[in-house]
Amino acid sequence: MKNDKEISIILPSMDAQRLMILEMETEKAITTLKSNLLGKKFPKADGVDYASLDEHIFLTQDQGWVAPPSDLVDAWFNQVKELFDEYRSDRKLGNLLGLQGDSADRRIRAYRKGSEVIPYGIWRNFLEITGRVTPEIKPVLGIFDMEQ
């Protein structure tokens, strides 16, 4: 005997749901990339000789990246700290760049003063969020763990 009050909802397969989420998140990322181009424009940082910058500081590791000099790190970090109240401290700037814990401020100071070379990932993140380079978009090898 069939229950007349039974409700049936047909849902897409888990693979189809996952693909829909991937598509929605990709569209969201595209929207973010496009809106980044409309970001507020800021002047060059004081005290930086832009004509003498080594172009390799803007490259990816595969392209031959070299670490920037600490005086440039200091100038550009200070520029962000001066322009944005929410990142006025080394700790807050460190958190923005993905550093966590009590040592975030010490590490930022070490990069600024040259006692430590800034790691590629932190520098690249900084360049991306300050609009100095295009965010790296990686092609996928495929969409794995799908049932076809």
Look at the block and give the residue holding tokens 């000099």.
69
Average pLDDT over residues 85-89: 97
pTM of the model: 0.87
pLDDT at 88: 97
Check whether 69 has a pLDDT greater than 80. Answer: yes
